[in-house]
């Protein structure tokens, strides 16, 4: 049995200013038990709406959500959130400011009328898992962003739900802490074997966390798969550019009876009709640079031992990944392309 089945969900909002806004347009996907499922998409594509529907905070116009074999959402059915055996972690944490960390984590158990002894045992167990036992008597205002995030996660975990929904949980955390929290979340998911459905607009976060990745665009699933596979084989230009590929449109040219495309100094034979536009994707690591004329270097970004080089020329912008250190802003280069993909 599929753990979570989202089937052909449609959702439209009616807002005073914009009239009807169709946010979800027939989205479907399956999540398996114990999986870390990541939904990646740009701001406004409907990610939060989708999570709210799965949580039971909203109702779909059409379609069904089936959790562990039971229809929990449809136009006629809406099982209330507390009967769904799931917890949700929001971007804003939503901790109770007047309660201690202990009180915050304990709260869902109190609501569920768990007895006091058992509550204490569970709060301490979760605090240990999250490494915040020393903070149990603090108030949220005394904590750092990363610590607050742990408390929010603790509150979600304490009831041992079979599904945890997370809506951009790291977007309010300093960049320096984000990687650490990412590893933490992954560790906790592995240790508790809970199914996680995690929403983000951050490509790196999605790649680092996902067992299964879904790229979302304008209320639809654009591609679903193993993250390495999606990265290697993006099916559409949208997925490709969202995952950091250069996506470029070129006109097919004809020379000596053979068709080819040109990008600055680089030329390559392709199949096609003269004058036809084709769209290609090139990973930054498959472009190498040498001194030349075709492209001007508009900026250089060094990240660890990698250098991202931004180029402009022949009507396009490109980014290349280089190991060498000779590149400088304002310099001119030619390119070689080792590998590229043609989108049909």
Ligand X SMILES: Nc1ncnc2c1ncn2[C@@H]1O[C@H](COP(=O)(O)OP(=O)(O)O)[C@@H](O)[C@H]1O
264 contact choice in ligand X, Mg ion, none (CB below 5 to 8 Å, kind-dependent): none
Least separation in angstroms between residue 5's CB and ligand X is 20
Which of 262, 326, 328 minimizes the C-alpha distance to 298? 328
Report the nearest approach of Mg ion to the CB of residue 167 (Å): 6
Closest CB 176 distance from Mg ion, rounded Å:
23
Q: Which does 225 bind (CB under 5 to 8 A by kind): Mg ion, ligand X, none?
A: none
- Tally Cβ neighbours within 10 Å of residue 170: 23
Sheet holding 220-225, edge to edge: 86-89, 163-167, 195-200, 36-40, 212-217, 220-225
The answer to whether residues 97 and 139 touch, using CB atoms and an 8 Å cutoff, is yes
Looking at the Cβ atoms of 48 and 246, the one nearer to Mg ion is 48
Q: Report the residue number, 27 or 130, with the smaller CB distance to ligand X.
A: 27
Q: Any alpha helices (H) in 65-221, and if so which ranges? A: 101-111, 116-129, 145-157, 175-192, 203-209
Closest distance between ligand X and the C-beta of residue 214, in Å? 12
Residue 73 binds which of ligand X, Mg ion, none (CB < 5-8 A, kind-dependent):
none
Residues contributing to the site for ligand X (CB under 6 A): 13, 15, 21, 23, 41, 43-49
DSSP state letters, 117-132 = HHHHHHHHHHHHHTT-
CB atoms within 10 A of CB 232: 12
Q: How far is the CB of 47 from ligand X (least distance, A)?
A: 3
* 3-state SS string for 198-226: EEECCHHHHHHHCCEEEEEECCEEEEEEC
Whether the CB-CB separation of 109 and 158 falls below 8 Å is answered with: yes
Residue from 48, 73, 104, 223 touching Mg ion (CB under 5 A): that is 48
Which residue lies nearer to Mg ion by CB, 126 or 173?
Answer: 173
Q: Which residue is nearest to Mg ion (CB)?
A: 48
Task: Show the binding pattern over residues 7-46: x = contacts Mg ion (CB under 5 A), - = does not.
Answer: ----------------------------------------
Q: Which residues bind Mg ion (CB under 5 A)?
A: 48
């Amino acid at each position: 049995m599929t753990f979570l089945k989202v089937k052909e969900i449609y959702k439209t909002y009616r807002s005073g200013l914009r009239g009807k806004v169709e946010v979800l347009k027939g989205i479907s996907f399956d999540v398996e038990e114990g999986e870390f499922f990541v939904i990646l998409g740009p701001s406004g594509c409907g990610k939060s709406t989708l999570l709210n529907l799965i949580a039971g905070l909203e109702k779909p116009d059409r379609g069904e959500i089936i959790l562990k074999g039971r229809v929990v959402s449809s136009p006629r059915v809406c099982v209330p959130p507390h009967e769904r055996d799931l917890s949700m972690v929001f971007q804003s944490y939503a901790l109770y400011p007047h309660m201690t960390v202990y009180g915050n984590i304990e709260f869902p158990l109190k609501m569920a009328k768990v007895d006091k002894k058992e509550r204490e045992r569970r709060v301490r167990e979760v605090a240990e898992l999250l490494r915040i036992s020393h903070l149990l008597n603090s108030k949220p205002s005394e904590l750092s962003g990363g610590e607050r995030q742990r408390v929010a996660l603790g509150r979600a975990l304490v009831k041992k739900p079979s599904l945890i929904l997370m809506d951009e949980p790291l977007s309010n955390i300093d960049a320096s802490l984000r990687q650490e929290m990412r590893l933490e979340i992954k560790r906790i998911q592995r240790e508790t074997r809970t199914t996680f459905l995690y929403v983000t607009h951050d490509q790196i976060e999605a790649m680092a966390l996902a067992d299964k990745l879904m790229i979302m665009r304008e209320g639809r699933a654009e591609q679903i798969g193993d993250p390495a596979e999606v990265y290697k084989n993006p099916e559409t230009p949208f997925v490709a550019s969202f995952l950091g590929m250069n996506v470029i449109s070129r006109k097919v040219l004809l020379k000596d009876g053979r068709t080819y495309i040109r990008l600055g100094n680089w030329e390559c034979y392709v199949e096609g009709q003269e004058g036809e536009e084709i769209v290609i994707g090139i990973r930054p690591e498959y472009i190498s640079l040498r001194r030349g004329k075709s492209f001007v270097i508009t900026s250089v970004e060094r990240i660890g031992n990698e250098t991202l080089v931004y180029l402009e020329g022949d009507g396009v912008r490109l980014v290349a990944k280089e190991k060498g250190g000779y590149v400088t802003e304002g310099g001119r280069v030619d390119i070689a392309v080792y590998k590229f993909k043609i989108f049909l």
